[in-house]
Amino acid sequence: MSVEEKIKTLRAELALHNHKYYVLDAPVISDYEFDQLLINLQELEQANPQFFDPNSPTQRVGGTVTKNFVTVQHDHRMYSLDNSYSKEDLLDWEVRLLKVIQQPLSFMCELKYDGASISLTYENGLLLRAVTRGDGIQGDEVTANIRTIKSIPLKVAAPSNERFDIRGEIIMTKSGFEALNEKRRALGEEEFKNPRNTASGSLKLQNSAEVAKRPLSCLLYSIQGANWPIETQKDMLHQARNMGFKVPSEARLAKNMDEVLAFIDYWEKHRHELPYEIDGVVIKVNELAHQNILGHTAKAPRWAMAYKYKAEEATTLLNQVVYQVGRTGAITPVAELEPVDLAGTVVKRASLHNADQIEKLDLHFGDTVVVEKGGEIIPKITAVKIGLRPDGAVPVGFIDQCPECGSALVRLAGEAQHYCLNEQNCPPQISGRIQHFISRKAMDIDGLGEETVTLMVKKGLIHDFADLFTLKVEDIVPLERMGEKSAQNLVQGVQESIRQPYSKVLFALGIRHVGETVAQKLTQAFPNIELLRRATEAELVAVDDIGLKIAQSLLNYFENDENWYRIKRLRAYGCQFETQNDVEQKVQSRVLEGMTFVVSGVFQNLSREEVKALIIAHSGIIVGSISGKTSYVLAGDQMGPSKRQKAEKLGIPIISEEDFFKMIAPNP
């Protein structure tokens, strides 16, 4: 046997044992024997690099470092699911289905895995890429990290070599999660909060070798884009399982809604016996032909429904209430509880949200409270057992001074929360704004963690995020856990961040109510910071999805001279405050330049998001409401009658999807 044949044989043997161990849970050799085979293959590959294969089992240990995850468009859109919370909801859904499919329906019932959605693309039987769900239209490519997950096959025996996607959830088993936390406890590190968030966060780790250390798995449930002889959802799961994917065996075909409800009842009682967490059941029309007829809404398939289990509850005692200060000065009360086991985890704290919630609950110190895990992740107090209240219990009253700086708290009109307005001198606000500024979705500056930022503020090295650009290596080296190399990397990371586009810089400023999506819409409508600063309330609310609250927040922000001074400093350091350098590459044409569009209804060929993306790509502007300045209303099916009436009253042209395509078509 030649060296190449030996290598191929070992790869095939190891891939088979990987499948038996991580997918079938039926190993036939010991861990030691597996390791010896792997070492043998590694030695052969190292001695014969001409036979390198990125899909070799030896490549699952990771080692690739990804600084920035590239955003890519899905070949096939990843829709979300409509949710139901009662059996009546499901019966109503069935009635709607039967109006379209006028014959008895069967349903495939699958467990709703509580993990992070992923889309795996294969071509010629090889794993080509892995992309997170993102907004359903596009997501982040995390292929290097996904390759380390041993239950995901790198090669499959597909019916053809054509390209296809398979969708699933990246999960972490309960036992794997506990083992991971046990290691962190032994190292004195902070424990992870829950399996779902840990699995999701693992996908964005920059070093794939670290991902390889996480006990992640992948459960698959849907094949897209394959022209194979598959007629039902049941056949699809069977095909995926035959190709080597990990498809849980709990899925069942229900011949009618009574069998669906029986499946739901069974797993509500037995879900904690599963090795991983679920938060409900997904019910799908089994026949793919029927799925095609039923189609999709703008957000979800009409042929599928998620039944969400009611969150579990427990009772415990309220010991104390503490108050946290956010980066915007918002004060959040947090209940400290007598530890209680809830849905498999120990709960010690629960958010009380705001003063209204405390008043609504009529909360007293020492109360017996009902705690619920919303979505089985975030604990909250839902009720108080008044009959168990101890004599002389003291009511919980909301504080009137900031717990960090002592400033008087203010509750703004129309706001549920209290705020500390001492934003320039309140330490948590200063640190919080800096941490937001350096975060991955903002300026993406490496080498700065929460503790380091807090220490820098405490030592007086920085007072706001603009000060980051004045840091020198010699300023940073004396800090705890910060050596010469780390200090150099930090300073370099700050300087490299000036390449971030205008939309990310705007988001990084931390303006109240201006999230990542809002920042993108604002920079599309106002291509530089000067235009945005001078924008009136009316001009701001004319932008798609910008309401009065966001508009007023922007006006207040720009009225503050200190904020504008900070922006001028950032601009002087090289930060981007205009779109031209960033957007020029994405513009397909300027045929819609100067035109404003209101988009309404459901479209035949594209989703609403895809239509909006095309308008922007051809230099048009999207606004949220119709006015005399609107150029066109682009209308799909089910356009709201009030919008149509207003457009007709103002004489605004209403165009169809076909009309729009003609507008952006290149000249012959």
Domain that residue 617 falls in: 596-664
CA dihedral 231, 237, 238, 242 (to 10 degrees): 120
What letters, b where the CB count within 10 A reaches 16 and e where it falls short, cover 52-91? Answer: eeeebbbbbebeeebeebeebebeebbbebeebeeeeebe
Largest Cα–Cα distance of the chain, in whole Å? 86
> Percent of the chain, pLDDT > 70?
93
What is the DSSP-derived secondary structure letter of residue 430? H
pLDDT score of 24: 66
CB proximity list for 237: less than 8 A, separation 6 or greater: 108, 110, 221, 247, 251
At residue 308, φ and ψ (nearest 5 deg) are -95, 130
Segment 139-158 shows an average pLDDT of 90
The mean pLDDT of 18-29, rounded to a whole number, is 68
Q: What percent of the chain has pLDDT over 90?
A: 40
Which of 264, 285, 308 is a domain's end point? Answer: 308
One domain for residues 342 and 477: no
Residue 550: name the closest of 531, 562, 532, 576 by CA: 532
pLDDT score of 187: 64
Mean pLDDT on 302-330: 90
- Position 217 pLDDT exceeds 90: yes
Higher pLDDT, 638 or 566: 566
Can you give the C-alpha Rg of the chain in angstroms? Answer: 28
**Around Cβ 168, how many Cβ atoms within 10 Å?**
24
Q: Are residues 107 and 230 located together in one domain of the fold?
A: yes
SS3 content of the chain, % helix, strand, coil (to 5): 40, 20, 40
How far is residue 431's CA from residue 361's CA, in Å, rounded to a whole number?
Answer: 32
73 lies in some domain = no
The pLDDT of residue 1: 79
pLDDT (mean) for 120-134? 92
Two tokens at 306?
A: 């998620």
Tell me whether residue 409 is in a domain. no
- Residue 188 vs residue 444, higher pLDDT: 444
Paired tokens of 511:
């303006």
CATH number of the CATH domain containing 526: 1.10.150.20
Is the separation of the CB atoms in 437 and 508 below 8 Å?
yes
Residue 376 pLDDT level (bands cut at 50, 70, 90): very low
Give the mean model confidence (pLDDT) for residues 26-53. Answer: 77
Nearest to 632 by CA among 595, 658, 593: 595
Q: How many CA atoms lie within 13 A of 29 on its CB side?
A: 15
Mean pLDDT, residues 184-211 taken together: 79
Compute φ and ψ for 204, nearest 5 degrees. Answer: -105, 10
What pLDDT shows up at residue 64? 57
- Cα separation, 2 vs 316, in Å, equals 68
CB 579 within 8 A of CB 528: yes
Question: What band does 309 get if pLDDT is binned at 50, 70 and 90?
Answer: confident
Q: Which position has the higher pLDDT, 222 or 440?
A: 222
User: Residue 227's Cα: distance from chain center in Å?
Assistant: 30
Per-residue pLDDT at 582 exceeds 50? no
Report whether pLDDT(487) > 90: no
Residues 399 and 491 in one domain: no
Segment 508-524 shows an average pLDDT of: 87
Measured distance CA(327)–CA(514) in Å, rounded: 13
Please write the tens of the pLDDT for every residue from 394-442. 999 999 999 999 999 999 777 888 999 998 889 889 988 998 999 878 8
- Which domain CATH number covers 638? 3.40.50.10190
pLDDT at 350 over 70: yes
The confidence score (pLDDT) of residue 632 equals 92
Residues 525, 640 share a domain? no
Lowest mean pLDDT among 56-70, 218-232, 512-526: 56-70
Q: Is the pLDDT of residue 369 over 80?
A: yes
Is residue 421 assigned to a domain? no
34 CB-near residues (< 8 Å, 6+ apart): 14, 17, 21, 27
Average of per-residue pLDDT across 81-92: 90
pLDDT tier for residue 446 given thresholds of 50, 70 and 90: confident
Q: Are residues 89 and 159 in the same domain?
A: yes
- 14 and 44: one domain? yes
Q: For the chain, what is the domain count?
A: 6
- Is residue 213 among the annotated active site residues? no
Supply the CATH number for residue 330's domain.
2.40.50.140
* Angstrom distance (rounded) from CA 396 to CA 326: 21
Query: Which among 520, 554, 583 is the end of a domain?
Result: 583
Nearest by Cα to 275 from 220, 184, 195, 350:
195
The answer to whether residue 417 is domain-embedded is no
Q: Is residue 644 part of a domain?
A: yes
β 632-635/654-655 pair status: parallel
Cβ neighbors of 78 (< 8 A, separation 6 or more) are 117, 119, 133, 134, 136, 139, 167
In-domain check, residue 259: yes
With 90 as the cut, is the pLDDT of residue 240 above it?
Answer: yes
Confidence of residue 338 (pLDDT cuts 50, 70, 90): very high
Q: Are residues 537 and 617 in the same domain?
A: no
Residue located via tokens 């693309």: 121
- 149 and 264 co-located in one domain: yes
**Range with the lowest mean pLDDT among 64-78, 252-266, 303-317, 639-653?**
64-78
Residue 338 and residue 440 share a domain = no
Does 668 have pLDDT greater than 80? Answer: no
* CA atoms of 170 and 190, how far apart (whole Å): 22
Distance CA 449, CA 595 (A): 44
Residues pairing with 165 in the sheet: 121, 224
Exposure string for 641-651, b = 16+ CB within 10 A, e = fewer = eebbebbeeee
User: pLDDT value at position 396?
Assistant: 94
pLDDT of residue 62: 53
**Which pLDDT does position 56 carry in this prediction?**
79
Give the residue with greater pLDDT, 639 vs 171. 171
pLDDT band (50, 70, 90) for residue 66? low
Out of 8, 20, 112, 649, pick the active-site residue: 112
- Name residue 222's beta-bridge partners: 167
CA–centroid distance for 623 within its chain: 26
418: in domain: no
Within a domain: 123: yes
User: Are 204 and 88 found together in one domain?
Assistant: yes
